[in-house]
Structure 1
Amino acid sequence: MGGRKGGGMKDWTGNKRTLGALLGASNHTSEERQREDYYATDPAMVRDLLNAGAPLRQRVWEPACGAGHIVNVLRERGHEVYATDIVDRGCPDSSVLDFLWEFAGAPMGDVDIMTKPPYATAREFVERALQVVKPGANVWMLLKLSFLEGQSRKRLFNDTPPADVWVFSERRICAKNGDFDRYKAGAMAYAWFHWVKSRNTVCTIKWL
Protein backbone atom coordinates (compact mmCIF):
# COMPACT_ATOMS: atom_id res chain seq x y z
CA MET A 1 0.00 0.00 0.00
CA GLY A 2 2.99 2.25 0.25
CA GLY A 3 3.85 4.74 2.96
CA ARG A 4 1.38 7.05 4.61
CA LYS A 5 0.82 10.37 2.97
CA GLY A 6 1.69 13.54 4.79
CA GLY A 7 3.34 13.76 8.21
CA GLY A 8 3.09 11.42 11.13
CA MET A 9 4.70 8.12 12.00
CA LYS A 10 6.32 5.88 9.45
CA ASP A 11 4.77 2.62 8.39
CA TRP A 12 6.84 -0.31 9.68
CA THR A 13 6.64 -2.32 6.46
CA GLY A 14 5.89 -0.01 3.54
CA ASN A 15 4.65 -2.75 1.23
CA LYS A 16 1.96 -5.38 0.68
CA ARG A 17 4.21 -8.43 0.63
CA THR A 18 3.22 -11.29 2.89
CA LEU A 19 5.60 -11.25 5.83
CA GLY A 20 5.48 -15.04 5.93
CA ALA A 21 7.47 -15.06 2.70
CA LEU A 22 10.15 -13.03 4.45
CA LEU A 23 10.14 -14.81 7.79
CA GLY A 24 9.66 -18.44 6.80
CA ALA A 25 6.03 -19.33 6.26
CA SER A 26 4.57 -22.70 7.11
CA ASN A 27 3.05 -24.90 4.41
CA HIS A 28 -0.41 -23.62 5.30
CA THR A 29 -1.82 -21.03 2.91
CA SER A 30 -4.15 -18.16 3.71
CA GLU A 31 -6.85 -19.84 1.60
CA GLU A 32 -7.00 -22.74 4.08
CA ARG A 33 -8.33 -20.45 6.81
CA GLN A 34 -11.85 -19.07 7.18
CA ARG A 35 -11.98 -15.51 5.87
CA GLU A 36 -15.62 -14.51 6.27
CA ASP A 37 -15.81 -14.07 10.04
CA TYR A 38 -15.28 -10.32 9.72
CA TYR A 39 -17.23 -8.06 12.08
CA ALA A 40 -15.74 -4.59 12.27
CA THR A 41 -15.22 -2.81 15.58
CA ASP A 42 -17.15 0.35 16.33
CA PRO A 43 -14.36 2.94 16.84
CA ALA A 44 -16.23 4.23 19.90
CA MET A 45 -15.46 0.91 21.60
CA VAL A 46 -11.76 1.68 21.28
CA ARG A 47 -12.10 5.29 22.39
CA ASP A 48 -14.15 4.28 25.43
CA LEU A 49 -11.42 1.87 26.53
CA LEU A 50 -8.61 4.39 26.06
CA ASN A 51 -10.59 7.15 27.74
CA ALA A 52 -11.01 4.88 30.76
CA GLY A 53 -7.22 4.79 31.18
CA ALA A 54 -6.52 1.30 29.90
CA PRO A 55 -2.77 0.61 29.68
CA LEU A 56 -1.35 0.52 26.17
CA ARG A 57 2.20 1.21 25.10
CA GLN A 58 3.40 3.32 22.18
CA ARG A 59 3.94 0.48 19.72
CA VAL A 60 0.86 -1.61 18.95
CA TRP A 61 0.26 -4.49 16.56
CA GLU A 62 -3.27 -4.97 15.17
CA PRO A 63 -3.17 -8.48 13.56
CA ALA A 64 -6.79 -8.56 12.30
CA CYS A 65 -7.01 -4.95 11.17
CA GLY A 66 -9.83 -5.25 8.63
CA ALA A 67 -10.54 -1.80 7.20
CA GLY A 68 -8.74 -0.08 10.06
CA HIS A 69 -11.46 0.68 12.61
CA ILE A 70 -9.13 0.03 15.58
CA VAL A 71 -5.98 1.15 13.78
CA ASN A 72 -7.31 4.57 12.88
CA VAL A 73 -8.28 5.38 16.47
CA LEU A 74 -4.90 4.28 17.80
CA ARG A 75 -3.05 6.35 15.23
CA GLU A 76 -5.22 9.35 16.04
CA ARG A 77 -4.11 8.93 19.66
CA GLY A 78 -0.44 8.95 18.66
CA HIS A 79 0.33 5.23 18.72
CA GLU A 80 2.70 3.66 16.21
CA VAL A 81 0.55 0.89 14.79
CA TYR A 82 1.62 -2.13 12.78
CA ALA A 83 -1.49 -3.34 10.91
CA THR A 84 -1.88 -6.78 9.33
CA ASP A 85 -4.70 -9.06 8.20
CA ILE A 86 -5.12 -12.33 6.34
CA VAL A 87 -6.61 -10.39 3.40
CA ASP A 88 -6.40 -6.77 2.28
CA ARG A 89 -9.59 -5.05 3.44
CA GLY A 90 -8.37 -1.52 2.78
CA CYS A 91 -6.71 -0.56 6.06
CA PRO A 92 -4.18 2.22 5.42
CA ASP A 93 -0.51 1.22 5.74
CA SER A 94 -1.18 -2.46 6.33
CA SER A 95 0.37 -5.73 5.20
CA VAL A 96 -1.06 -9.14 4.35
CA LEU A 97 -0.17 -11.68 7.04
CA ASP A 98 -1.83 -14.80 8.42
CA PHE A 99 -1.39 -14.24 12.16
CA LEU A 100 -1.90 -17.89 13.10
CA TRP A 101 0.44 -19.49 10.58
CA GLU A 102 2.92 -17.35 8.72
CA PHE A 103 5.67 -16.27 11.08
CA ALA A 104 7.77 -17.48 14.01
CA GLY A 105 7.68 -14.38 16.20
CA ALA A 106 6.67 -10.75 16.36
CA PRO A 107 8.46 -9.22 13.35
CA MET A 108 8.42 -5.71 14.78
CA GLY A 109 9.98 -6.26 18.19
CA ASP A 110 8.54 -5.31 21.54
CA VAL A 111 4.88 -4.33 21.08
CA ASP A 112 1.45 -4.58 22.63
CA ILE A 113 -1.32 -6.33 20.68
CA MET A 114 -4.86 -5.01 20.30
CA THR A 115 -7.46 -6.56 18.02
CA LYS A 116 -10.94 -7.97 17.57
CA PRO A 117 -10.15 -11.49 16.36
CA PRO A 118 -12.45 -13.67 14.26
CA TYR A 119 -14.68 -15.31 16.84
CA ALA A 120 -14.18 -18.80 15.36
CA THR A 121 -10.45 -18.57 16.10
CA ALA A 122 -10.51 -16.20 19.06
CA ARG A 123 -8.87 -18.62 21.50
CA GLU A 124 -6.12 -19.35 18.99
CA PHE A 125 -5.55 -15.61 18.53
CA VAL A 126 -5.17 -15.15 22.29
CA GLU A 127 -2.74 -18.06 22.56
CA ARG A 128 -0.72 -16.88 19.57
CA ALA A 129 -0.56 -13.30 20.85
CA LEU A 130 0.69 -14.42 24.25
CA GLN A 131 3.25 -16.61 22.53
CA VAL A 132 4.80 -13.92 20.35
CA VAL A 133 4.87 -10.84 22.58
CA LYS A 134 7.54 -10.23 25.20
CA PRO A 135 7.03 -10.43 28.98
CA GLY A 136 5.16 -7.41 30.30
CA ALA A 137 3.37 -6.71 27.01
CA ASN A 138 -0.35 -5.97 26.98
CA VAL A 139 -2.68 -8.11 24.89
CA TRP A 140 -6.14 -6.64 24.31
CA MET A 141 -8.87 -8.71 22.66
CA LEU A 142 -12.37 -7.41 21.97
CA LEU A 143 -14.62 -10.44 22.43
CA LYS A 144 -18.20 -11.38 23.12
CA LEU A 145 -18.80 -11.69 26.84
CA SER A 146 -19.72 -15.33 26.21
CA PHE A 147 -16.01 -15.97 25.59
CA LEU A 148 -15.91 -16.59 29.35
CA GLU A 149 -17.77 -19.86 28.73
CA GLY A 150 -16.48 -23.17 27.41
CA GLN A 151 -14.17 -25.99 28.51
CA SER A 152 -11.30 -25.14 26.15
CA ARG A 153 -11.39 -21.51 27.22
CA LYS A 154 -11.55 -22.57 30.86
CA ARG A 155 -8.18 -24.26 30.36
CA LEU A 156 -6.87 -21.07 28.74
CA PHE A 157 -8.04 -18.98 31.68
CA ASN A 158 -6.60 -21.43 34.21
CA ASP A 159 -3.20 -21.46 32.51
CA THR A 160 -3.04 -17.78 31.51
CA PRO A 161 -5.75 -15.76 33.27
CA PRO A 162 -6.42 -12.26 32.00
CA ALA A 163 -5.37 -9.41 34.24
CA ASP A 164 -8.79 -7.82 33.83
CA VAL A 165 -11.94 -7.87 31.73
CA TRP A 166 -13.51 -4.51 30.80
CA VAL A 167 -17.21 -5.11 30.22
CA PHE A 168 -19.37 -2.67 28.26
CA SER A 169 -22.31 -1.67 30.43
CA GLU A 170 -24.55 -1.47 27.37
CA ARG A 171 -24.74 -3.70 24.33
CA ARG A 172 -22.78 -2.68 21.25
CA ILE A 173 -22.75 -3.45 17.53
CA CYS A 174 -19.87 -4.86 15.53
CA ALA A 175 -20.90 -4.64 11.87
CA LYS A 176 -20.61 -7.57 9.48
CA ASN A 177 -18.13 -6.72 6.72
CA GLY A 178 -17.76 -3.26 8.26
CA ASP A 179 -21.15 -2.10 7.00
CA PHE A 180 -22.39 -0.05 9.96
CA ASP A 181 -25.11 1.63 7.88
CA ARG A 182 -26.72 -1.74 7.15
CA TYR A 183 -26.21 -3.47 10.48
CA LYS A 184 -27.77 -1.12 13.01
CA ALA A 185 -29.49 -3.83 15.05
CA GLY A 186 -28.29 -6.97 16.76
CA ALA A 187 -26.34 -5.41 19.61
CA MET A 188 -24.48 -7.91 21.78
CA ALA A 189 -22.64 -8.02 25.07
CA TYR A 190 -18.93 -7.31 24.50
CA ALA A 191 -15.88 -6.87 26.68
CA TRP A 192 -12.20 -6.04 26.26
CA PHE A 193 -10.15 -8.95 27.64
CA HIS A 194 -6.72 -7.83 28.84
CA TRP A 195 -3.70 -10.04 29.41
CA VAL A 196 -0.24 -9.02 30.58
CA LYS A 197 2.36 -11.49 29.34
CA SER A 198 3.97 -13.59 32.11
CA ARG A 199 1.96 -11.95 34.87
CA ASN A 200 -0.63 -14.40 36.10
CA THR A 201 -2.87 -12.54 38.49
CA VAL A 202 -6.36 -12.73 39.89
CA CYS A 203 -8.66 -11.38 37.19
CA THR A 204 -10.48 -8.11 37.91
CA ILE A 205 -13.78 -7.15 36.32
CA LYS A 206 -14.21 -3.53 35.24
CA TRP A 207 -17.00 -1.70 33.46
CA LEU A 208 -17.09 0.76 30.59
Structure 2
Amino acid sequence: MAQNTSPAVMAQRIEPHDSLDYFPTPPWAVRALCEHLDTWGSIGAASCWEPACGSGDMVRALKGYFGEVAGSDVHDYGGPDQDEVADFLFPALPALADGWPAGAPDWIITNPPFRLAEAFALRALDLAGEGVALLVRTSFLEGVGRHERLFARFPPEWILQFTERVPMVKGRLDGGASTATAYCWIVWVQPCPSGSGRAPRHPTHFPAFRWLPPCRRRLERPGDYPEA
Protein backbone atom coordinates (compact mmCIF):
# COMPACT_ATOMS: atom_id res chain seq x y z
CA MET A 1 0.00 0.00 0.00
CA ALA A 2 1.38 3.41 -0.94
CA GLN A 3 2.14 5.80 1.90
CA ASN A 4 -0.18 8.80 2.18
CA THR A 5 2.09 11.84 1.95
CA SER A 6 -0.46 14.60 1.36
CA PRO A 7 0.40 17.89 3.15
CA ALA A 8 -2.64 17.62 5.41
CA VAL A 9 -1.69 14.16 6.63
CA MET A 10 1.98 14.96 7.01
CA ALA A 11 1.44 18.26 8.86
CA GLN A 12 1.75 16.77 12.34
CA ARG A 13 2.55 18.95 15.34
CA ILE A 14 5.72 17.22 16.52
CA GLU A 15 8.39 19.53 17.88
CA PRO A 16 11.95 19.11 19.22
CA HIS A 17 12.20 19.21 23.01
CA ASP A 18 13.83 22.66 22.91
CA SER A 19 11.41 24.19 20.40
CA LEU A 20 9.20 27.15 21.28
CA ASP A 21 6.37 25.21 19.60
CA TYR A 22 4.85 28.39 18.19
CA PHE A 23 1.71 27.58 16.22
CA PRO A 24 -0.51 30.71 16.09
CA THR A 25 -4.21 30.09 16.71
CA PRO A 26 -6.74 31.10 14.04
CA PRO A 27 -8.94 33.77 15.67
CA TRP A 28 -12.16 32.03 14.63
CA ALA A 29 -11.26 29.08 16.88
CA VAL A 30 -10.93 31.47 19.85
CA ARG A 31 -14.28 33.10 19.08
CA ALA A 32 -15.92 29.66 19.05
CA LEU A 33 -14.76 29.13 22.64
CA CYS A 34 -15.85 32.59 23.76
CA GLU A 35 -19.31 32.14 22.29
CA HIS A 36 -19.68 28.94 24.29
CA LEU A 37 -18.50 30.63 27.50
CA ASP A 38 -20.94 33.47 26.96
CA THR A 39 -23.85 31.00 26.89
CA TRP A 40 -22.79 29.72 30.33
CA GLY A 41 -22.26 33.07 32.02
CA SER A 42 -21.29 36.57 30.93
CA ILE A 43 -17.54 37.07 30.48
CA GLY A 44 -17.81 40.69 29.39
CA ALA A 45 -16.54 42.04 32.70
CA ALA A 46 -14.00 39.29 33.37
CA SER A 47 -10.23 39.50 33.10
CA CYS A 48 -8.25 37.03 31.02
CA TRP A 49 -4.57 36.11 30.70
CA GLU A 50 -3.08 34.49 27.61
CA PRO A 51 0.34 33.24 28.82
CA ALA A 52 1.60 31.79 25.51
CA CYS A 53 0.44 34.61 23.29
CA GLY A 54 3.15 34.68 20.63
CA SER A 55 2.53 37.75 18.52
CA GLY A 56 -0.94 38.19 20.03
CA ASP A 57 -3.39 36.57 17.61
CA MET A 58 -5.43 34.93 20.38
CA VAL A 59 -5.25 38.06 22.52
CA ARG A 60 -6.87 40.14 19.79
CA ALA A 61 -9.75 37.68 19.50
CA LEU A 62 -10.23 37.47 23.27
CA LYS A 63 -10.46 41.26 23.51
CA GLY A 64 -13.74 41.07 21.61
CA TYR A 65 -15.34 39.21 24.53
CA PHE A 66 -13.50 39.83 27.81
CA GLY A 67 -13.37 43.07 29.73
CA GLU A 68 -9.60 42.94 30.23
CA VAL A 69 -7.03 40.79 28.41
CA ALA A 70 -3.28 40.55 29.00
CA GLY A 71 -0.80 38.57 26.94
CA SER A 72 2.66 37.24 27.77
CA ASP A 73 5.10 34.74 26.32
CA VAL A 74 8.48 33.29 27.23
CA HIS A 75 9.88 34.74 23.97
CA ASP A 76 9.64 38.34 22.76
CA TYR A 77 7.64 38.16 19.54
CA GLY A 78 7.43 41.93 19.32
CA GLY A 79 3.69 42.17 18.74
CA PRO A 80 1.64 45.06 20.17
CA ASP A 81 -0.60 42.61 22.04
CA GLN A 82 2.24 40.98 23.96
CA ASP A 83 2.35 42.89 27.24
CA GLU A 84 5.31 41.14 28.81
CA VAL A 85 8.06 38.58 28.27
CA ALA A 86 7.51 36.03 31.04
CA ASP A 87 7.79 32.30 31.65
CA PHE A 88 4.32 31.11 32.68
CA LEU A 89 5.77 28.14 34.55
CA PHE A 90 8.10 30.30 36.64
CA PRO A 91 6.82 30.44 40.24
CA ALA A 92 6.71 34.23 40.49
CA LEU A 93 3.88 36.06 38.74
CA PRO A 94 4.84 38.55 36.02
CA ALA A 95 4.52 42.28 36.50
CA LEU A 96 1.25 42.37 34.54
CA ALA A 97 -0.40 40.57 37.50
CA ASP A 98 -0.38 43.90 39.32
CA GLY A 99 -3.36 44.90 37.20
CA TRP A 100 -5.60 42.20 38.64
CA PRO A 101 -7.42 43.03 41.89
CA ALA A 102 -6.97 39.52 43.29
CA GLY A 103 -3.42 39.17 41.95
CA ALA A 104 -4.60 36.65 39.35
CA PRO A 105 -7.02 36.82 36.41
CA ASP A 106 -10.54 35.44 36.29
CA TRP A 107 -9.67 33.28 33.27
CA ILE A 108 -6.51 31.82 31.78
CA ILE A 109 -6.95 30.83 28.13
CA THR A 110 -4.16 29.64 25.87
CA ASN A 111 -2.86 27.34 23.16
CA PRO A 112 0.11 25.96 25.16
CA PRO A 113 3.27 24.35 23.83
CA PHE A 114 2.10 20.78 23.38
CA ARG A 115 4.86 19.15 25.40
CA LEU A 116 4.12 21.55 28.28
CA ALA A 117 0.32 21.47 28.08
CA GLU A 118 -0.12 19.40 31.23
CA ALA A 119 2.16 21.69 33.22
CA PHE A 120 0.31 24.73 31.83
CA ALA A 121 -3.02 23.23 32.89
CA LEU A 122 -1.88 22.56 36.46
CA ARG A 123 -0.30 26.01 36.80
CA ALA A 124 -3.38 27.74 35.36
CA LEU A 125 -5.72 25.84 37.67
CA ASP A 126 -3.64 27.00 40.61
CA LEU A 127 -3.99 30.65 39.57
CA ALA A 128 -7.23 31.40 37.73
CA GLY A 129 -10.16 32.65 39.74
CA GLU A 130 -13.01 31.47 37.51
CA GLY A 131 -11.79 29.15 34.81
CA VAL A 132 -9.15 27.76 32.48
CA ALA A 133 -9.38 26.84 28.80
CA LEU A 134 -6.63 25.08 26.83
CA LEU A 135 -6.65 24.45 23.09
CA VAL A 136 -5.00 21.06 22.62
CA ARG A 137 -4.78 18.17 20.21
CA THR A 138 -7.62 15.77 20.87
CA SER A 139 -5.03 13.08 21.55
CA PHE A 140 -4.13 15.04 24.71
CA LEU A 141 -7.15 13.37 26.30
CA GLU A 142 -5.34 10.04 26.13
CA GLY A 143 -2.75 8.68 28.55
CA VAL A 144 -2.91 6.84 31.86
CA GLY A 145 -0.35 9.10 33.53
CA ARG A 146 -2.04 12.29 32.40
CA HIS A 147 -5.38 10.97 33.60
CA GLU A 148 -3.95 10.28 37.04
CA ARG A 149 -2.03 13.55 37.33
CA LEU A 150 -4.59 15.90 35.80
CA PHE A 151 -8.03 14.72 34.73
CA ALA A 152 -8.84 12.48 37.71
CA ARG A 153 -7.75 15.21 40.13
CA PHE A 154 -9.28 18.12 38.22
CA PRO A 155 -12.19 16.99 36.02
CA PRO A 156 -12.90 19.58 33.33
CA GLU A 157 -16.29 21.18 32.92
CA TRP A 158 -16.41 20.75 29.15
CA ILE A 159 -14.54 19.08 26.34
CA LEU A 160 -15.39 21.10 23.23
CA GLN A 161 -14.47 19.11 20.14
CA PHE A 162 -14.17 20.98 16.84
CA THR A 163 -16.14 19.34 14.05
CA GLU A 164 -14.02 21.35 11.59
CA ARG A 165 -10.25 21.05 11.51
CA VAL A 166 -8.29 23.97 12.98
CA PRO A 167 -5.26 24.42 10.69
CA MET A 168 -2.19 25.75 12.44
CA VAL A 169 1.16 26.42 10.81
CA LYS A 170 4.47 26.82 12.61
CA GLY A 171 5.39 30.46 13.03
CA ARG A 172 2.53 32.14 11.18
CA LEU A 173 -1.21 32.39 10.58
CA ASP A 174 -2.25 30.94 7.24
CA GLY A 175 -5.90 31.05 6.21
CA GLY A 176 -5.26 28.60 3.39
CA ALA A 177 -3.54 25.90 5.45
CA SER A 178 -4.88 22.40 6.04
CA THR A 179 -4.22 19.81 8.72
CA ALA A 180 -4.89 16.20 9.65
CA THR A 181 -4.75 17.02 13.38
CA ALA A 182 -7.95 17.24 15.44
CA TYR A 183 -8.21 19.86 18.17
CA CYS A 184 -10.50 20.54 21.09
CA TRP A 185 -10.88 23.05 23.89
CA ILE A 186 -10.68 21.66 27.42
CA VAL A 187 -12.42 23.98 29.86
CA TRP A 188 -12.22 23.87 33.63
CA VAL A 189 -14.51 25.97 35.82
CA GLN A 190 -13.22 26.63 39.30
CA PRO A 191 -15.31 25.63 42.32
CA CYS A 192 -17.73 28.45 43.06
CA PRO A 193 -16.99 30.59 46.11
CA SER A 194 -19.81 31.21 48.51
CA GLY A 195 -21.98 34.14 47.47
CA SER A 196 -20.96 33.87 43.82
CA GLY A 197 -24.50 33.15 42.68
CA ARG A 198 -23.35 30.10 40.68
CA ALA A 199 -24.27 26.55 41.65
CA PRO A 200 -21.34 24.72 43.25
CA ARG A 201 -19.88 21.78 41.38
CA HIS A 202 -21.04 18.38 42.56
CA PRO A 203 -18.23 16.24 44.08
CA THR A 204 -18.84 13.50 41.51
CA HIS A 205 -18.73 15.91 38.58
CA PHE A 206 -18.20 14.44 35.12
CA PRO A 207 -17.13 16.50 32.10
CA ALA A 208 -19.72 17.38 29.49
CA PHE A 209 -18.68 16.58 25.93
CA ARG A 210 -19.85 19.04 23.30
CA TRP A 211 -19.23 19.27 19.58
CA LEU A 212 -18.52 22.76 18.27
CA PRO A 213 -20.59 22.86 15.09
CA PRO A 214 -19.13 24.25 11.86
CA CYS A 215 -18.48 27.93 12.55
CA ARG A 216 -15.31 28.99 10.75
CA ARG A 217 -17.06 30.83 7.91
CA ARG A 218 -19.33 32.69 10.33
CA LEU A 219 -16.59 33.62 12.81
CA GLU A 220 -13.78 34.70 10.52
CA ARG A 221 -13.31 38.47 10.24
CA PRO A 222 -11.56 40.73 7.74
CA GLY A 223 -7.98 41.25 8.85
CA ASP A 224 -7.70 37.95 10.74
CA TYR A 225 -4.85 36.79 8.52
CA PRO A 226 -1.84 38.81 7.43
CA GLU A 227 -1.55 39.58 3.76
CA ALA A 228 0.57 37.13 1.84
Fold shared, TM-score > 0.5 on shorter chain: yes
Describe the shift of the 1:55–1:87 C-alpha distance in structure 2 as closer, same or farther (beyond 3 A).
farther
Describe the shift of the 1:69–1:188 C-alpha distance in structure 2 as closer, same or farther (beyond 3 A).
same
Whether the aligned pair in 1 keeps the contact of 2:159 and 2:210 (CA below 8 Å) is: yes
1:151 counterpart = 2:144: yes
How many residues are treated as equivalent by the alignment? 173
Aligned partners of 1:87 and 1:54: how far apart in 2?
34
- The equivalent of 2:216 in structure 1 is none
- The equivalent of 1:49 in structure 2 is 33
- The equivalent of 1:101 in structure 2 is 90
- The equivalent of 1:5 in structure 2 is none
For residue 104 of structure 1, report the CA deviation from its aligned partner: 5.1
RMSD: 2.3
1:38 counterpart = 2:22: yes
Residue deviations 1:67-111, cap 9 Å, x none? Answer: 111100111335310111001113324100100015159923342
Relative to structure 2, which stretch is displaced further, 114-123 or 172-181? 172-181
- The equivalent of 1:129 in structure 2 is 124
User: Where do 5+ consecutive residues of structure 2 fail to align?
Assistant: 1-16, 192-200, 213-228
Aligned partners of 2:123 and 2:168: how far apart in 1?
23
Aligned partners of 2:113 and 2:173: how far apart in 1?
16
For residue 36 of structure 1, report the CA deviation from its aligned partner: 2.3
- The equivalent of 1:189 in structure 2 is 182
Describe the shift of the 1:43–1:78 C-alpha distance in structure 2 as closer, same or farther (beyond 3 A).
same
1:62 counterpart = 2:50: yes
For residue 171 of structure 1, report the CA deviation from its aligned partner: 1.6
For residue 35 of structure 1, report the CA deviation from its aligned partner: 4.3
- The equivalent of 2:111 in structure 1 is 116
Aligned partners of 1:103 and 1:166: how far apart in 2?
31
SS at match of 2:72: strand
SS at match of 1:40: coil
Aligned partners of 1:78 and 1:197: how far apart in 2?
18
Describe the shift of the 1:158–1:139 C-alpha distance in structure 2 as closer, same or farther (beyond 3 A).
same
What TM-score do the two structures reach when normalised by structure 1? 0.75
Amino acid at match of 2:87: D
Amino acid at match of 1:101: F
**Percent of residue pairs identical:** 36
What TM-score do the two structures reach when normalised by structure 2? 0.69
Describe the shift of the 1:86–1:56 C-alpha distance in structure 2 as closer, same or farther (beyond 3 A).
farther
- The equivalent of 2:161 in structure 1 is 167
SS at match of 2:34: helix
Aligned partners of 1:44 and 1:179: how far apart in 2?
12
User: Where do 5+ consecutive residues of structure 1 fail to align?
Assistant: 1-32
- The equivalent of 1:88 in structure 2 is 76
Aligned partners of 2:42 and 2:111: how far apart in 1?
15
Aligned partners of 2:186 and 2:71: how far apart in 1?
20
- The equivalent of 2:14 in structure 1 is none
Aligned partners of 2:93 and 2:25: how far apart in 1?
27
SS at match of 1:159: coil
SS at match of 2:109: strand
